[in-house]
A = this chain, B = another copy of it.
Amino acid sequence: MATNRKATSRSKDNLKRGAARLRSGAPEAGPETAVDTVAPGRADRRAERRAAILTAALDEFSTRGFAAARLDDVAHRAGVAKGTIYLHFDDKEALFQELVRSFLIPQVAMMEQAPVGELSSRELIERFLERFLTEIYTTRRREVLRLILTEGHRFPALAEFYYREVVARGIAAIRMVLARAVARGELSGDALVRFPQLLVAPLLMSIVWSGLFDRFAPLDIPALLRAHLDLVFGERKTT
């Protein structure tokens, strides 16, 4: 019940604010301009709180699951009152969907920038797997993906969004790389071209395993992915 009115750490991004102030034509000698550590403006605070709520929601949804997570806890963790959540999101479900979308959309954008280059197909796929490690597996995005796996069934709109925006595009992109590999003779057999899902399955397995068994049977995921690469392209040529 502790009345926590702890202020959120005042932070850095008042650049926009400065610009706005310039345009607003406030008197030069205004009392606020005298202070160089400007208090953050309303829009900034709003964005900060929104982000804090989303992060807190990720924590709670990840550990308890959607249905069992309490918005009181999300609010407390985010350092706001429960009502504040409703100033940013329509209801619990909207919070959840926004959470997933907001963490996913930058991901989609990143995937777009194809790193085609003139690398061998094996290198391309290797990059892709490394990308998974650094951009997903070792980040909070892993938890978001796990949320999709565990809760997606009950949120068909979300599942479809995820399929259209990530899965379908991803599979298409991978298929092109694999088709190129076959055309160049770097890959024998069209199994992977027909089912690019086979290339991605171990990534899924990593996420599932980490959620269920890591405590008592940790798995060396980088090594597993290297082995997968070997399986697909044949043993790595040792230097």
Contacts and interface: CB of A to CB of B under 8 A. Distances in A.
A135 B239 CA distance: 45
Nearest to A224: B195
A211 B160 contact: no
Assembly stoichiometry (copies)? 2
B197 A224 contact: yes
Interface in A123-149: 146, 148-149
B227 A163 contact: no
Interface in A199-220: 200-202, 204-205, 208-209, 211-213, 215-217, 219
A215 B156 contact: yes
A186 B228 CA distance: 18
A67 B213 CA distance: 21
Contact of A231 (B152, B191, B216, B230): B191
A212 to B, nearest CB: 5
Interface residues of A, number: 51
Given A149-B150, A188-B234, A198 B227 contact: yes
A72 interface: no
A168 interface: yes
A223 to B, nearest CB: 7
A194 interface: yes
A192 interface: yes
A189 B231 contact: yes
A167 interface: yes
A237 interface: no
Contacts of A194: 223, 227
A71 to B, nearest CB: 14
A29 interface: no
A208 B159 CA distance: 11
A64 interface: yes
Contacts of A167: 213, 217
Interface in A149-183: 149-154, 156, 159-160, 162-163, 167-168
Contact of A189 (B219, B223, B230): B230
A197 to B, nearest CB: 6
A192 B231 contact: yes
State the 4 A-B residue pairs at the shortest beta-carbon distance, nearest first: A67-B67, A201-B201, A191-B227, A201-B205
Given A65-B67, A149-B212, A200-B205, 9 more contacts: A65-B65, A65-B153, A150-B153, A162-B212, A189-B235, A191-B230, A197-B219, A198-B224, A231-B232
